[in-house]
Chains A and B, each alone.
Chain A
């Protein structure tokens, strides 16, 4: 997971609180993603950013906002946290190389909303 850093790793929130998950990559990647993974489930795409200055909704965007501050950073914000947003959140980035794409993942952020 070298190259993609997520913070915080663990967070407990009360219903209605807000918070921002930070993601940064130092590999000069264009594309960045935010996923959530509920217990026993796959990764569901929340938002993605194909390039600096652009963001698009994924499969489950409701309750979230994102910001692609620059090419390096892509943050995910929960404006009013709900228990249904308890999950593990993953940030990922990709690059197109001569030998094909490579996906890099952060280590995950465990979020509990009580």
Chain B
């Protein structure tokens, strides 16, 4: 069964600095998708970034980028120039052939 692990329950960073959130996953599939979602207090799920497993190039979206290491089954999220609006819960997610699985989440605090 596929599993997703986020080993950092909480992280904090100074505004304008860079922070990296960790995610590892376990799967026997070769074709899959990985996602990072942001969840503010409203509980809305907001897509941050997406990575296709068959692509070697790391995905980037403005200040957000990932470090995708397929062999190590690692998928970390880097947030550059952190802003107060980045404060939220962040979830790593894996989608394989049929199932979509989430990690436990990391609560990110931005210190002004």
Q: Which positions in A face B, CB cutoff 8 Å? A: 1, 31, 33, 35, 37, 40-45, 48, 50, 56, 58, 88, 90, 92, 94, 100-103, 105, 107-108
Q: Are A103 and B43 in contact (CB under 8 A)?
A: no
Q: Are A45 and B101 in contact (CB under 8 A)?
A: yes
Cβ 8 A contact of A103, one of B6, B93, B103: B93
Would you list 12 pairs from A and B whose C-beta atoms are within 8 A, ordered by A residue?
A31-B98, A33-B100, A41-B104, A42-B102, A42-B104, A45-B100, A48-B99, A48-B100, A56-B98, A100-B52, A103-B93, A108-B44
Of the candidates A56, A92, A100, the one having the most CB atoms from chain B within 10 angstroms of its own CB is A100
Q: Are A90 and B100 in contact (CB under 8 A)?
A: no
**What does DSSP make chain A's interface, helix, strand, loop or mixed?**
strand
Q: Report the bound CA distance from A92 to B11 in whole Å.
A: 27
Q: Report the bound CA distance from A48 to B91 in whole Å.
A: 19
Q: Report the bound CA distance from A92 to B44 in whole Å.
A: 12
Q: Are A103 and B100 in contact (CB under 8 A)?
A: yes
Q: Give chain A residues whose Cβ lies under 8 Å from the Cβ of B107.
A: 40
Q: Are B33 and A101 in contact (CB under 8 A)?
A: yes
Q: Are B50 and A100 in contact (CB under 8 A)?
A: yes
Q: Report the bound CA distance from A44 to B99 in whole Å.
A: 12
Q: Are A107 and B44 in contact (CB under 8 A)?
A: yes
A-B residue pairs, 10 tightest by C-beta: A42-B104, A105-B45, A43-B102, A50-B98, A42-B105, A101-B33, A108-B43, A42-B102, A100-B52, A101-B95
Q: Are A35 and B93 in contact (CB under 8 A)?
A: no
Q: Are A35 and B47 in contact (CB under 8 A)?
A: no
Q: Give chain B residues whose Cβ lies under 8 Å from the Cβ of A42.
A: 6, 91, 102-105
Cβ 8 A contact of B95, one of A37, A56, A94: A94
Q: Are B44 and A1 in contact (CB under 8 A)?
A: yes
Q: Are A48 and B98 in contact (CB under 8 A)?
A: yes
Does B35 count as interface, using CB distance less than 8 angstroms? Answer: yes
What's the least CB distance linking A99 to chain B, in Å? 9
Q: Give chain A residues whose Cβ lies under 8 Å from the Cβ of B45.
A: 1, 90, 92, 103, 105
